[in-house]
Amino acid sequence: MSGYVELPDGPSDVISSLAFSHSTGKLAVGSWDRTLSFYEQQGDSFVRETGIQARAPVLDVCWDEDEPSRVYFVGLDYDVRSVDTSSADGEQTVLSTHGGASNKVAYSKEEKIVLSTSWDGTMHVHDPKEGRHTRIRLAAKPFALALSNNRCVVAMAERKVSVYDLHALRMLLEQAGTTTSDAEVMTVEPWQSRESSLKFMTRSIACMPDGTGFAASSIEGRVGVEWFAEEEQKKTYAFKCHRQTEKITPSEGEGGVQEVDIVYPVNALAFHPIHGTFATGGGDGVVAFWDAQTKRRIKQFPKLQASVAALEFSPDGRTMAVAMSPGFEDGKEDEEVDTSACKVYIRALGENEAKGKEAKK
């Protein structure tokens, strides 16, 4: 299917998250079927190495970049959990417990901390080695989380975006961190507070590899590209994408065939680690590459059979993982999930396939 290779032994329910290890290149897959699956590359293919059973549907997963076999994951059981994938017993450690489902988790290699967000409106900052954490009250319900080498970006309801300094969060953890489960929720002033360039709910967010800004996507078929530095913020822009024109035949007596613009959510977004371009995946089943600097689309891949739920680039930029799952854009929310549409695809990328294009003159 145009270069896509399906991973074997995939999840049996909707796929929530993908994460490549920067240390080993292994791929972690989180799913609503309460499993974490781990794949190792062998030659040109990926083989399922092992799997872990969680207590509840898994909403996000990330790797510890200093301890290559360890992952952190969050889900509907409110816990932020850690597990050593090389351990025979697969024993899980609870780092902290939110007051609601925890939807996002990320690891900062520079500061050696784990950050998690929850629908209860908090963010937890953890020192996984010392077993300490602190709790921060967010400005609104969080939808997306992304890290650069020194910044943490949280996209929330009401178009609110908070940018935190990761080193400052590390210092706060050292000063006020606790090992108890009833830690006080603190109010911390972000390094930067801003209004999203997107008018509708954020679905995904990713920081630029050079750390100068980020891109965010929304349910309304748009992507916004923003920069951190005040003098660079004038370059902020947004564009439409993942929209399909369909022909609709009206009821009798209401005129001829009409063309309707169908808008799909942009569920997934990831920057290429080498070229600095980024990929988007939408409810239309399409993956596209974009150049943030020249504001041009680089490439669009053939449409998949269902919605793109997540996507991720390997650390060397040579591989792209794409998770396909029913997104209910067809209005069939009450029906059973079509498990045959829950798949993870791997696509090898050419050396310059994700390279940006020169700006139009």
Q: Is the pLDDT score of 220 beyond 60? A: yes
> What mean pLDDT do residues 241-263 have?
77
For position 331, what pLDDT does the model report?
46
Q: Is the pLDDT score of 328 beyond 60? A: no
For position 59, what pLDDT does the model report?
98
Q: Residue 356 domain-assigned? A: no
Query: Is the Cα dihedral 51, 209, 277, 123 positive or negative?
Result: positive
Total domains in the fold of the chain? 1
**How many helices (DSSP H) and strands (DSSP E) are in the chain?**
1, 31
Q: Residue 361 domain-assigned? A: no
Across 121-130, 247-256, 281-290, 345-354, least confident range: 247-256
C-alpha distances (whole Å) from 57 to each of 11, 92, 333 are 11, 15, 18
Q: Residue 187 domain-assigned? A: yes
Answer whether 200's CB lies under 8 Å from 219's CB. Answer: yes
Q: Is the pLDDT score of 315 beyond 90? A: yes
Answer whether 118's CB lies under 8 Å from 98's CB. Answer: yes
Would you state the structure tokens that stand for residue 24, as one six-digit string?
């080993």
For position 357, what pLDDT does the model report?
77
Answer whether 292's CB lies under 8 Å from 215's CB. Answer: yes
Look up residue 351 and give its amino acid. E
> What mean pLDDT do residues 267-285 have?
96
How many C-beta atoms surround the C-beta of residue 188 within 10 A? 18
> What mean pLDDT do residues 13-31 have?
96
For position 258, what pLDDT does the model report?
78
For position 68, what pLDDT does the model report?
92
CATH number for position 12: 2.130.10.10
Q: Is the pLDDT score of 94 beyond 80? A: yes
Instruction: Render pLDDT for 239-248 as a digit per residue (tens, 0 to 9).
Output: 999 988 877 7
C-alpha closest to that of 236 among 277, 297, 195: 195
For position 12, what pLDDT does the model report?
92
Please spell the DSSP secondary structure of 112-137, one letter per residue.
Answer: TEEEEEETTSEEEEEETTTTEEEEEE
Q: Residue 353 domain-assigned? A: no
Instruction: Render pLDDT for 107-158 as a digit per residue (tens, 0 to 9).
Output: 999 999 999 999 999 999 999 999 999 999 999 999 999 999 999 999 999 9
Q: Residue 160 domain-assigned? A: yes
What 3-state DSSP class applies to 47? strand
Q: Residue 40 domain-assigned? A: yes
Q: Is the pLDDT score of 337 beyond 90? A: no
Domain of residue 29, residue span: 4-328+338-348
Across the chain, what does the average pLDDT equal? 92
Answer whether 273's CB lies under 8 Å from 338's CB. Answer: no
Across 105-109, 110-114, 247-251, 271-275, least confident range: 247-251
214 compared with 233, residue with greater pLDDT: 214
Burial 303-329 (b: 16+ CB within 10 A, else e): ebebbbbbbbbbeebbbbbbbbbbbeb
Answer whether 35's CB lies under 8 Å from 41's CB. Answer: no
Helix, strand, coil share (%) of the chain residues, nearest 5? 5, 50, 45
pTM of this structure: 0.92
For position 360, what pLDDT does the model report?
64
Across 185-189, 257-261, 323-327, least confident range: 257-261
For position 44, what pLDDT does the model report?
76
> What mean pLDDT do residues 339-350 have?
92
The model's confidence at residue 317, banded by pLDDT at 50, 70 and 90, is: very high
